C-alpha cells in the first residue's frame, strides 16, 4: 500500500482495483481484511 499525507490507498496487484481511505492508522489485521476484500 502507498501512504500519501493522511490518506491510505490500497491497490490490489492481481486485478488493479484500489480503494482510498481518509485515514492511515489501521491495524495490520484490518488491512489484510481490506486487501482480501478488494482482491476478491
No. of H helices and E strands in the chain? 1, 3
What total of structural domains would you count in the chain?
Answer: 1
Determine the pLDDT at residue 37: 93
| pTM over the 0.75 mark | no
Report the pLDDT value the prediction gives residue 16, as an integer from 0 to 100.
95
pLDDT tier at 6 (50, 70, 90 boundaries)? confident
Residues spanned by the domain of 15: 2-39
pLDDT band (50, 70, 90) for residue 5? low
Under 8 Å between Cβ of 18 and 12:
yes
> Each residue of 8-38: pLDDT tens digit?
889 999 999 999 988 777 788 998 999 999 9
Cα–Cα distance measured from residue 12 to residue 40, given in angstroms and rounded to the nearest whole number: 9
Amino acid at each position: 500500500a502507498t501512504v500519501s499525507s493522511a490518506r491510505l490507498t490500497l491497490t490490489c496487484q492481481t486485478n488493479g482495483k484500489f480503494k482510498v481511505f481518509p485515514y492511515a492508522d489501521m491495524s495490520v489485521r484490518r488491512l489484510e481484511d481490506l486487501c482480501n476484500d478488494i482482491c476478491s
